[in-house]
């Protein structure tokens, strides 16, 4: 085995240079040349400021915004993760039942789409199901003082279908939908109680 | 429902259609023939041999081949361990992460060198870009190439042809196989997949984490990094260790259904190609197709169980005001839903990949049973790159031995007699899984220091232990992530399980190949059991299920099966 050490050490060093430096750096250069926006994280800007990433959920809690799915990690985009609670976990059952009952009560007894009461795998799921968006539409419409029909149309325009009609599930990107909402009826306009966090904070 | 079934069919067809030509290409590559890429990569290849003092024409017998493999992995482990311990003093560390503790560095280095890629750490909260690139990405490549090299050598032994045509006992040259696997196979495929993934939205940059101001005015820090390049090889090399903590569930690691499909296809591509490469190298394509068929049957059975259970949703939510038509969505992403999560879970545990696009810890009890069993039978349903195939060959040896017992003849496989020595070696390889899962798992299930890591009570707690030790010994790396494995006890014991699962498979399988290579070929007779027909496929599937099932059923009964009955009875823990 000793006589194998020389090739072992030299090949390890050469592989490290090729695969640990040349490969990722070349890929970084090529990626940034071909797909600059994606390589940089698909960031979304408004008025020249980065407001988030199209691919990463952010917290929405004001009634005038659509809310994302529950996140086990408080939507911390620096530390992803799910709840990892097992199916018979008492903690999971209590969380789901109290959330479901609260949301159902607020919606006048309607059944809650399951994705709104279950934590996503990443804690950063940027999407909700179309059912979950329609479920929230009355609350958002009321808070923003927008006719419900107009709100539903807005949601409908933001439904992304399956890729090539086959891959994935139909879904709604929450950040894109909320950005469109702000354009339709800007936050703070009309005394709408949106973005309480923003108004109470001096920016 | 129907669209999910269609997706499964498209997936199986796509993987088969890509694996067939790739298998034929690999057969050429590991026979030392010229390929399309030789004009470009030949100079780099020759440079590697010259610098390393390697004579590419010199063959190695099984013992020297194994020694080269172990020496290379030992050096790789030392380098990675050093990088992880010292990362606080090294460059490319914009978040200023410190070095890893000794037990965590040991576990992580073992994990990546053995192609397990278990994550006892959270990528974006623990590792610098340097550790990810120079440390982990390199081992993603070379641990996969090690498995591919050993797989090629074992096949040469079974095929009974030395690569250099001189000494029949030679299995090839480890350094040549390793270099060729990296340069001609893994690197080109990774470059293609990296660019596809970036196009779909996976970041590839060296920037510090981005601070965004959300629409509600809060500050959000978004992790960045050279993710795509690492994710490509993580999938292709059946590695599975994620760039980010939640692996391919994280939108940055797997942003769209198309990236998801590409990553899923990459998991099974090379393992499936191995069956066709085998058929070509033993000059009888039907032999390769028979093994492919046996793997395919086990895969579809596991997929049906997982998908069925996950579609049902959680029985405990039946009386809540929840619309559960979408199935069990705890730990799953909306863009993938139940169908693509179940397919991924099956593929990643069939192959020893271990990456996840949903949290297996939150699967329904039966939905998690199939992935667990796929790991426990030794990662032989396609399995890891190379390792899955030579693992399945151990079962093939046992199958022809059992068939021989039934008819009272000395068993043969591909014209060579399977005798006491080969069967003993195959049994040694087979016993590693029970040792790692049941013996180590029993220790972890009884010692108080180990039990502190459990998140869930009741039968699910036992499932967490079983899953962790199955994953480590099978070199899979997927986890019931609620299980807090980052303790000195589990870091060490899981690390040992990974080492046993890797090398106590590699060495006996190389020894079997060396022994077979030295044997004379015997002409098939009327009493020869044909190993290319449906009878053999059925028997092979049965042997895998019966040996695996009998070994692990008692433990599974106390874990997922007990949890399933508890769930139906409305019990929580």
Answer whether residue B182 shows pLDDT above 70.
yes
pLDDT of residue B455: 85
pLDDT at A122: 95
What is the mean pLDDT of the segment spanning A21-46? Answer: 96
Nearest in space to B502 (alpha carbons), one of B203, B238, B182, B252: B238
Q: Are B271 and B351 in contact (CB under 8 A)?
A: yes
Among the residue ranges A68-82, A188-202, B134-148, B246-260, the one predicted with the least confidence is A188-202
Chosen for mutation from A6, A11, A36 (greatest number of chain B CBs closer than 10 Å) is A11
> Could you tell me which residue, B169 or B530, shows the higher pLDDT?
B530
The distance of B161 to chain A (nearest Cα, Å) reads 24
* DSSP conformation class of B483: S
Q: What is the rounded distance in angstroms from the CA atom of residue B537 to the CA atom of residue B332?
A: 35
Average pLDDT over residues B289-299: 98
Residues 6+ apart with CB under 8 A from A88: B316, B365, B456, B458, B459, B460, B563, B566, B567, B571, B572, B573
A192 CB within 8 Å of a chain B CB: no
Q: Give the mean model confidence (pLDDT) for residues B325-334.
A: 96
Which residue of chain B has the CA closest to A183? B215
pLDDT at residue B139, rounded to an integer = 96
Contact of A17 with chain B, judged by CB distance below 8 Å, is answered with no
A96 Cβ under 8 Å from any chain B Cβ: yes
Predicted confidence at residue A199, as pLDDT, reads: 39
Closest residue in B to A107 (Cα) is B321
Over residues B13-32, the pLDDT tens digits come to 999 999 999 999 999 999 99
Torsional sign, CA B333, B372, B111, B45: negative
Residues 19-38 of A with CB under 8 A from B: 19-21, 23-24, 27-28, 30-32, 34-35, 38
Q: What is the mean pLDDT of residues B30-43?
A: 93
Which member of A12, A77, A80 has the closest CB to residue B75?
A12
Which of the four pLDDT bands, split at 50, 70 and 90, describes residue B453? confident
Domains of chain B, by residue range, sit at 19-276
Partner B contacted by A184 (CB < 8 A): no
Q: Which residues of A touch B323 (CB under 8 A)?
A: 111-114, 131
Set of chain B residues whose Cβ sits within 8 Å of the Cβ of A131? 323
Q: What is residue A196's predicted lDDT score, i.e. its pLDDT?
A: 43
* pLDDT number for residue B326: 94
**Helical spans, DSSP H, in chain A:** 5-15, 23-34, 36-39, 90-106, 130-144, 148-157, 174-184, 196-200
What pLDDT is stored for residue B136 in this prediction?
Answer: 94
Rounded to whole angstroms, the Cα distance separating A14 from B179 reads 10
Task: Kindly provide the b/e burial profile for residues B274-309, where b requires at least 16 CB atoms within 10 angstroms of the residue's own CB.
Answer: bbbbbbbbbebbebbbbbbbbbbbbbebbbebbbeb
Model confidence at A198, pLDDT cuts 50, 70, 90, reads very low
CB contact under 8 A, B362 and A84: yes
Arithmetic mean of pLDDT, A113-132: 97
What's the rounded Cα separation, in Å, for the pair A179 and B508? 60
Provide the 8-state DSSP code for B408.
T
With contacts defined as CB-CB under 8 Å, which chain A residues touch B345?
none
**Residue B532: closest CA among B214, B292, B271:** B292
Residue of A nearest to B243 (CA): A80
pLDDT for res A202: 33
Q: How far apart are CA B394 and CA B104, in angstroms?
A: 32
Residue range A106-130: average pLDDT? 96
Give tens-digit pLDDT for B468-484: 999 999 999 998 988 98
Across B193-307, the runs of DSSP E, i.e. the strands, are: 210-213, 219-222
Other Cβ atoms closer than 10 A to B157: 30
- Asked which of A21-30, B167-176, B388-397 is least confident by mean pLDDT, the reply is B167-176
Tell whether A128 lies on the interface with B, counting CB pairs under 8 A.
yes
Residue B125 pLDDT: 86
Region B318-337: mean pLDDT is 96
Candidate from B68, B179, B257 with C-beta closest to A168 = B257
**What is the three-state SS of B43-104?**
HHHHHHHHHHCCCCCCCCCHHHHHHHHHHHHHHHHHHHHHHHHHHHHCCCCCCCCCCCCHHH
Q: What is the mean pLDDT of residues A49-73?
A: 95
Give the mean pLDDT of chain B. 94
Please tell me the least confidently modeled range out of A74-88, B247-261, B558-572: A74-88
What is the ipTM score, two decimals? 0.92
Neighbouring C-beta atoms of residue A138, cutoff 10 Å: 16
Cβ-defined contact of B215 to A60 (cutoff 8 Å)? yes
Q: Is the pLDDT of residue B267 over 50?
A: yes
Contact yes or no for A60 and B458 at CB 8 A: no
Per residue in B66-120, pLDDT tens?
999 999 999 999 999 999 999 999 998 988 999 999 999 999 999 999 999 988 8
Q: How many CB atoms lie within 10 A of CB B394?
A: 25
How many angstroms separate the CA atoms of A96 and B314, rounded?
Answer: 11
Share of chain B above pLDDT 90, in %: 87
pLDDT tens digit string along B217-238?
Answer: 999 999 999 999 999 999 999 9
Nearest CA to B246 out of B391, B136, B362, B135 is that of: B362
The alpha carbon of residue B134 is apart from the nearest alpha carbon of chain A, in Å, by: 4
Cβ-based contacts of A203 with chain B (< 8 Å): 213, 217
Residue B283 Cα, gap to closest chain A Cα (Å): 32
Residue numbers in B near A78 (CB within 8 A): 124-125, 209, 221-223
**To the nearest whole percent, how much of chain B has pLDDT over 70?**
99
- CA of B346: how far to CAs of A69, A119, B176, B353, B381, in Å? 25, 22, 33, 10, 10
Greater pLDDT, B534 or A200 = B534
Q: How far is B573 from chain A (nearest CA, A)?
A: 5
A44 phi and psi angles, rounded to 5 deg: -110, 130
Query: Per-residue pLDDT tens for A137-167?
Result: 999 999 999 999 999 999 999 999 999 989 9
**Range of lowest pLDDT (A73-77, A179-183, B272-276, B500-504):** A73-77
Cα gap B445→B468, rounded to integer Å: 11
Examine the pLDDT at B407 and tell me if it is beyond 50.
yes
Chain A, chain B: beta-carbon pairs less than 8 Å apart: 414
- What are the helix and strand counts (H, E) for chain A? 8, 6
For residue A190 the two structure tokens come to 């009309």
The alpha carbon of residue A145 is apart from the nearest alpha carbon of chain B, in Å, by 18
Query: What average pLDDT score do residues B496-504 get?
Result: 96
pLDDT in tens, B512-566: 999 999 998 888 888 788 999 999 999 999 999 999 888 999 999 999 999 999 9
pLDDT of residue B165: 54
What average pLDDT score do residues A32-43 get?
97
Residue-wise pLDDT for B45-76, tens only, equals 999 999 999 999 999 999 999 999 999 999 99
Mutate to test the interface with A, among B335, B342, B455, B457 (most CBs of A within 10 A): B335
Of the pLDDT bands very low, low, confident and very high (cuts 50, 70, 90), residue B166 is low
Return the residue of B nearest to A55 by Cα: B251
Closest approach of B126 to chain A, Cα-based (Å):
10
Could you tell me which chain B residue has the CA closest to the CA of A81?
A: B246
B243 neighbors B228 (Cβ within 8 angstroms): no
Find which of A19, A166, A192 to mutate to test the B interface (most B CBs within 10 Å of its CB): A19
């Amino acid at each position: 085995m000793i006589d194998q050490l020389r090739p072992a050490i030299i090949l390890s060093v050469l592989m490290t240079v090729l695969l640990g430096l040349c490969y990722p750096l070349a890929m970084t250069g090529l990626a940034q040349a071909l797909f600059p926006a994606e390589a940089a994280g698909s960031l979304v800007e408004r008025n020249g400021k980065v407001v988030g990433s199209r691919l990463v959920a952010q917290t929405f809690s004001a009634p005038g915004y659509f809310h994302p799915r529950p996140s086990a990690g408080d939507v911390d985009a620096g530390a992803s993760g799910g709840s990892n609670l097992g199916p018979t976990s008492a903690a999971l059952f209590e969380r789901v039942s109290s959330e479901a009952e609260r949301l159902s009560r607020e919606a006048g007894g309607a059944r809650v789409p399951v994705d709104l009461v279950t934590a996503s795998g990443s804690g950063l799921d940027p999407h909700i199901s179309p059912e979950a968006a329609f479920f929230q539409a009355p609350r958002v419409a009321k808070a923003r003082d927008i006719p419900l029909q107009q709100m539903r149309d807005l949601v409908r325009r933001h439904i992304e279908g399956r890729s090539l009609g086959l891959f994935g599930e139909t879904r709604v990107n929450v950040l894109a939908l909320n950005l469109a909402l702000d354009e339709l009826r800007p936050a703070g306009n009309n005394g709408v109680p949106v973005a309480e966090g923003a108004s109470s904070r001096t920016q | 429902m129907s669209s999910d079934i269609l997706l499964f069919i498209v997936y199986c067809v796509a993987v088969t259609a890509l694996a067939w030509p790739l298998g034929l290409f690999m057969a050429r590559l590991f026979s030392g023939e010229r390929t399309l890429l030789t004009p470009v990569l030949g100079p780099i290849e020759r440079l590697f041999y010259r610098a390393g003092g390697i004579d590419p024409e010199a063959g190695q017998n099984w013992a020297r081949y194994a020694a080269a493999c172990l020496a290379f992995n030992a050096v790789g482990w030392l380098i990675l361990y050093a990088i992880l311990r010292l990362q606080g003093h090294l460059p490319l560390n914009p978040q200023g992460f410190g070095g890893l503790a000794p037990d965590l560095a040991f576990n992580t280095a073992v994990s990546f060198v053995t192609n397990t890629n278990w994550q006892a750490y959270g990528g974006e909260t623990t590792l610098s870009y340097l550790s990810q690139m120079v440390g982990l990405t390199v081992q993603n490549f070379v641990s996969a190439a090690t498995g591919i090299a050993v797989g090629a050598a074992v096949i040469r032994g079974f095929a009974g042809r030395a690569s250099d045509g001189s000494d029949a006992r030679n299995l090839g040259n480890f350094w040549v196989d390793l270099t060729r696997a990296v340069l001609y196979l893994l690197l080109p495929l990774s470059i293609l997949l990296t660019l596809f993934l970036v196009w779909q939205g996976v970041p590839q940059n060296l920037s510090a984490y981005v601070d965004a101001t959300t629409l509600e005015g809060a500050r959000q820090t978004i992790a960045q990094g050279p993710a795509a390049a690492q994710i490509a090889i993580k999938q292709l090399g059946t590695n599975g260790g994620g760039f980010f903590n939640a692996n391919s569930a994280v939108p940055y690691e797997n942003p769209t259904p198309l990236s998801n499909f590409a990553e899923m296809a990459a998991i099974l591509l090379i393992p499936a190609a191995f069956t066709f490469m085998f058929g070509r190298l033993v000059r009888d394509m039907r032999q390769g197709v028979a093994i492919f068929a046996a793997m395919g049957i086990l895969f579809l059975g596991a997929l049906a169980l997982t998908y069925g259970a996950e579609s049902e949703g959680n029985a405990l939510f039946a009386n809540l005001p929840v619309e559960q038509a979408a199935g069990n969505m705890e730990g799953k992403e909306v863009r993938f839903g139940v169908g693509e999560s179940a397919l991924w879970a099956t593929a990643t545990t069939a192959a020893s990949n271990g990456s996840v696009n949903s949290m297996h810890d939150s699967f329904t009890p039966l939905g998690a049973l199939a992935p667990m069993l796929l790991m426990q039978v030794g990662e032989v349903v396609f399995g890891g790159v190379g390792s899955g195939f030579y693992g399945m060959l151990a079962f093939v040896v046992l199958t022809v031995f059992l068939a021989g017992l039934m008819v009272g003849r000395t068993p043969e496989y591909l014209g060579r007699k399977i005798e006491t020595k080969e069967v003993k070696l195959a049994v040694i390889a087979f016993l590693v899984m029970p040792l790692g899962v049941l013996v180590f798992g029993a220790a972890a299930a009884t010692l108080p220091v180990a039990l502190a890591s459990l998140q869930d009570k009741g039968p699910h707690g036992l499932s967490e232990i079983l899953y962790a030790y199955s994953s480590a010994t099978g070199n899979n790396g997927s986890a019931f992530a609620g299980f807090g494995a980052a303790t000195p006890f589990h870091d060490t014991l899981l690390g040992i399980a990974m080492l046993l699962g890797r090398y106590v498979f590699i060495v006996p399988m190389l020894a079997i190949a060396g022994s077979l290579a030295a044997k004379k070929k015997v002409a098939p007779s009327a009493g020869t059991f044909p190993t290319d027909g449906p009878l053999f496929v059925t028997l092979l599937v049965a042997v895998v299920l019966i040996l695996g099932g009998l070994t692990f059923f008692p433990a599974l009964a106390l874990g997922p099966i007990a949890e399933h009955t508890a769930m139906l009875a409305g019990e929580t823990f």
